[in-house]
Structure 1
Amino acid sequence: MPRTIDYYFWMNSDWAYLGADRLEQLAARRGASIRYLPVDLPAVYARTGGVILPKRAPERQAYRIAELKRWCKRLGIHVNATPRYMCPDAGLASRVVIAADSMGVRVAALYKAILAAEWCDEQDISDASTLRAILLSQNLDADTLLRLAETSAVQTAYVRNTDAAVAAGVFGSPSYVLEGELFWGQDRLDFLDEALQSEG
């Protein structure tokens, strides 16, 4: 049976954007499946001792930018470290991805497009019209998905993802859990790859 990666990520996570393609590639290479689980990261932080970016010490904020520049150069991926609409409310975007997943949509391209809208294209991903345009660009039924995103079933799934993340030991985004083992950060994908090579 294929092994499953539980992928917990925030829809405002620049690091999730940087790791998106490599996660897909390693899962395909190792014959693993991915469960896409958007979470409410501020809620995770509140329960695990994290601090949202604007409230971090200036030294930590400066180092984040330095690290982003290093990784962007290494990966050949552009990210604006301080976009115009940085880390808005990610609730609707998260629920849109959950709704799409529930309809059988392959959501890797969708969540990456939403992240790119924020970190590369200076767009506000909390705005329904922005999300509608992204959905249409992905040839998806925007009206249906935006409506589903507001249903109690999808709202409950979002809370459930967040609770499951904390239960799994997650405290940041992106996080990957393979059979109970946590790997935090796109810079730990090599370790995840090694774990997938081992016997389950």
Structure 2
Amino acid sequence: MKPRWYFDFVSPFSYLHWQKMRPLVEAGRVEAVPILLGAVLDALGTLGPAEIPAKREFIYRQALWQARREGVPLVFPPAHPFNPLPALRLCIAAGIGVQAIDAIFNAIWRDGLDGSTATLAPVARGLGIEGDLDAAIAAPEVKQRLRGMTESALSAGVFGVPTLQVEGGLFWGNDSHDLMMAVLEDPGLLREGPLATVGSLPVGIRRKG
């Protein structure tokens, strides 16, 4: 299976990592897959990083620092987390192409827009979606495709975004990019050696709860 890159527009780290993944998606080496992170977290019974107050402040600082280090403009939207469904569904309605992903990420994380249908309407027109944007992104086939891709991510074991799936391995986070590229160039690292066997390490203790 072609390596898959799972992302959600709600994630600043997905935006930062997209700058590195775009050439691989353009070259057809990696498939970009939008998913609803909130549904993943609900299914796993875990909190998102922005739902833990001290962690929320840390990850925002981390995102800003990574953006500055990487030379990527980053402006937070007016509130975060925000509802990413309009952005995700617009991406699907527009065909999940590089142009659509670029335009939506830029509107939210470069220009600091709120990700609502009202602010995304000009983006949609630029992607060739005319008329009622609400109706376009509410189409049953659009909703079903997002649901299906999110379920596929859960089946693969995805627990956060951005995540690159290479064969049976999952690699999470913008700061894991070097590891992702090493495995993408040599998937054999997942078949033998320490990277292949570490998953069998026994669990020594489990928390009660």
Q: TM-score, normalised by structure 2?
A: 0.78
Structure 1 runs (4+) greater than 3 angstroms displaced: 142-148
In structure 2, relative to structure 1, the CA distance for the partners of 1:179 and 1:122 (3 Å cut) is same
Q: Distance in 1 between matches of 2:90 and 2:161?
A: 18
Q: Is the contact made by 1:183 and 1:192 (CA closer than 8 Å) also made in structure 2?
A: yes
- Give me the CA root mean square deviation: 2.4
Partner of 2:129: 141
The share of aligned pairs that are identical, in percent, is: 26
Partner of 1:14: 12
Cα deviations by residue, 1:40-78 (Å, 9 ceiling, x for unpaired): 1111111224313553132x1222123123211211012
Cα distance, 1:142 vs. partner? 3.3
Partner of 1:98: 92
Q: TM-score, normalised by structure 1?
A: 0.81
Cα distance, 1:95 vs. partner? 1.3
Structure whose alpha-carbon radius of gyration is higher: 2
Cα deviations by residue, 1:2-52 (Å, 9 ceiling, x for unpaired): x62212111211111101121123456xx5533222111111111224313
In structure 2, relative to structure 1, the CA distance for the partners of 1:199 and 1:93 (3 Å cut) is closer
Matches within 5 A, 1:159-174: 159-174=147-162
Q: Paired residues, what number? A: 188
Q: Is the contact made by 1:16 and 1:174 (CA closer than 8 Å) also made in structure 2?
A: yes
Q: Distance in 2 between matches of 1:18 and 1:93?
A: 17
Q: Distance in 1 between matches of 2:141 and 2:5?
A: 20
Mapped pair 1:118 → 2:108: yes
Paired residue type of 1:189: H
Greater RCO (CA < 8 Å, at least 6 residues apart): 1
Q: Is the contact made by 2:49 and 2:59 (CA closer than 8 Å) also made in structure 1?
A: no
Query: Which residue of the other structure, out of 144, 159, 165, is the alignment partner of 1:156?
Result: 144
Please say which of residues 113-122 and 161-170 is displaced more in the overlay: 113-122
Mapped pair 1:46 → 2:42: yes
Cα distance, 1:145 vs. partner? 7.0
Q: Distance in 2 between matches of 1:175 and 1:199?
A: 16
Paired residue type of 1:51: L
Cα deviations by residue, 1:123-171 (Å, 9 ceiling, x for unpaired): 2212x23222012334x23338764422211111111111111111111
In structure 2, relative to structure 1, the CA distance for the partners of 1:36 and 1:192 (3 Å cut) is same
Paired residue type of 2:35: V
Q: Distance in 2 between matches of 1:80 and 1:148?
A: 28
